[in-house]
Amino acid sequence: MKPILRSLRGVSRIMTARRGVARGITLALASGACALVLFTTASLGPNALPRVNEARAAGTSAANMTDAADTRPDIVKRGEYLARAGDCVACHTAPRGKLFGGGLAMETPFGTLYSPNITPDAQYGIGTWSEEAFFQMMRTGRTPDGKLLYPAMPIAQYTKVTREDSNAIFAYLKTVPPVREPNHKHTLRFPFNQRKLLYGWRTLYFREGEFKPDPTKSVEWNRGAYLVEGLGHCTMCHTKINMLGGSSQSEQFAGGLIPVQNWYAPSLTSDKDGGLGDWSVKDIVDLLQAGISDRGAVYGPMAEVTYHSLQYMTDDDVRAMAAYLKTLPDNRGRKSGPSAPTNNNVFALGEKIYADKCALCHGAKGEGQLQHYPPLAGNQSIEMDSAVNPIRIVLNGGFPPGTMRNPEPYGMPPFGQELNDTDAAAVVTYIRTAWGNHGQPVTSREVNELRKAPLH
């Protein structure tokens, strides 16, 4: 799951947001959202499978050397659903590119990686792959010729996927139209282009193995845990990443900044300050599936996840995810204290700007209007430690994604052209500290930094 983002209305349009999750997977590969397979160009080329090349040398066709996928209609349909659950399309389809043809540029602090072609093209895609090779990639994080995958592919999560589900996904991918597009070569800087360094990362942060149900929990809880921890790979964005590109168990789901995207993925724990502690299961289901609920709306990278993935999931599966998320403990406690003293002049300026530009939709006292214009008073996304999301939304505006349950979303205009850094800082400070909100003031410098940052 790439981030549940609740804040003011807005960010870039969904076609901009769709590139977000891929770029946001940070550090060892800078994430909300989402490569099914991130291999090197060489690993997908004609030399990818020594076994196949040996067969060719012996005069045997590659097709005869690969296990046939089970392409029965029910298996393929299930595989398509599971590929949706994994949000594979978001990374493996470049803007204006062909479905699963790869080529999406993922900018990271260490250089740029490109998602691979995972169509059944024999030369550039996975057409020569076997069902077993695909499963071993999912389970072990290695290409068929033994190369280690960069963790932009959520290997720590996909290792939990069952063999049955892996086979179904593979069966579906074998039925999509092949794309004869070569893979782009990654442009990582030294020493990050040295794949051997991944051995150290894996020692610290990768634990191979299928998801194990908890016999003390319900069937629904276990299904939700499998989707959230496995295919949904929600921890990729909603967990703080350290300088080594990994995270500690105690930080799981506690929220974190997505550095390349400059969005903050809120906590998914029972934290009542910035997490889901006060949310009902219905609130979570609505936000995940429709993109909007009584508690707020999704924007930025999370909008992409809802648009490409979550809106297509069954009611039972989304509810299972929500039920599991409601049980995640808060290991950090309240992060924001009472409102810090705010400069009276700044507060007054923010109040005036709010009355002129915001109150018509969000209410004079931040009460909001139904689901279309979420409340700002008592809004955890407004109050939490990081002010990144409300600043970006004030500057950039935008829309939540159009979904089957919310086909005509209401949006918010950008105010970045109308408000200078001082004005924007004042109005964000106002909404974070007015009406009993206990957020901290923001500075014009913080606004300026995000104004200059690329919009993903």
Reported as a single tens digit per residue, the pLDDT across 351-371 is 999 999 999 999 999 998 866
Tell me the C-alpha to C-alpha distance, in Å, between residue 79 and each of 165, 172, 348, 454: 7, 5, 56, 35
Q: Give me the helix-helix angle, 444-452 and 421-433, nearest 10°.
A: 120
Q: Is there a single domain that holds both residue 283 and residue 141?
A: yes
Residue 313 lies in a domain: yes
pTM more than 0.85: no
Residue 11 lies in a domain: no
Residue 3 lies in a domain: no
Domain boundary among 335, 352, 373: 335
| pLDDT for position 260 | 66
Domain boundary among 289, 316, 335: 335
Q: Is there a single domain that holds both residue 276 and residue 309?
A: yes
What whole-number distance in Å separates Cα of residue 179 and Cα of residue 305?
24
Residue 2 lies in a domain: no
Q: Is there a single domain that holds both residue 174 and residue 200?
A: yes
Residue 1 lies in a domain: no
Q: Identify the domain containing residue 425 by its residue range.
A: 344-452
Q: Is there a single domain that holds both residue 305 and residue 360?
A: no
Q: Is there a single domain that holds both residue 239 and residue 383?
A: no
| pLDDT for position 339 | 58
Domain boundary among 335, 365, 398: 335
Q: Is there a single domain that holds both residue 279 and residue 365?
A: no
Residue 426 lies in a domain: yes
Q: Is there a single domain that holds both residue 414 and residue 373?
A: yes
Q: Beta 187-188 vs 111-114: how paired, if at all?
A: antiparallel
| pLDDT for position 261 | 72
Q: Is there a single domain that holds both residue 81 and residue 220?
A: yes
Could you report the per-residue pLDDT of 49-100, keeping only the tens digit for each? 333 333 333 333 333 344 677 889 999 999 999 999 999 999 999 999 999 9
Annotate 399-414 with b (16+ C-beta within 10 A) or e (fewer): bbbbbeebeebbebeb
pLDDT tens digits for the chain (456 residues)? 444 333 333 333 333 333 333 333 333 333 333 333 333 333 333 333 333 333 333 333 333 344 677 889 999 999 999 999 999 999 999 999 999 999 999 888 788 999 999 999 999 999 999 999 999 999 999 999 899 998 889 999 999 999 999 999 999 999 999 999 999 999 999 988 888 888 988 998 899 999 999 999 999 999 999 999 999 999 988 998 877 777 777 788 988 888 667 789 999 999 887 789 889 999 999 999 999 888 888 888 899 999 999 999 999 999 999 999 999 998 766 555 555 667 889 999 999 999 999 999 999 999 988 667 888 998 888 888 889 999 999 999 878 899 999 998 888 899 999 999 999 999 999 999 999 898 899 999 999 999 987 665
Q: Is there a single domain that holds both residue 246 and residue 391?
A: no
Residue 8 lies in a domain: no
Residues with Cβ within 8 Å of residue 82, at least 6 apart in sequence: 165, 168, 169, 172, 231
Q: Is there a single domain that holds both residue 354 and residue 328?
A: no
CATH of the domain at 381: 1.10.760.10
Q: How many domains does the chain have?
A: 2
Residue 231 lies in a domain: yes
| pLDDT for position 39 | 32
| pLDDT for position 163 | 97
Is 419 in contact with 401 (CB distance < 8 Å)? Answer: no
| pLDDT for position 334 | 56
Q: Is there a single domain that holds both residue 316 and residue 372?
A: no
Q: Is there a single domain that holds both residue 353 and residue 330?
A: no
Is 301 in contact with 395 (CB distance < 8 Å)? Answer: no
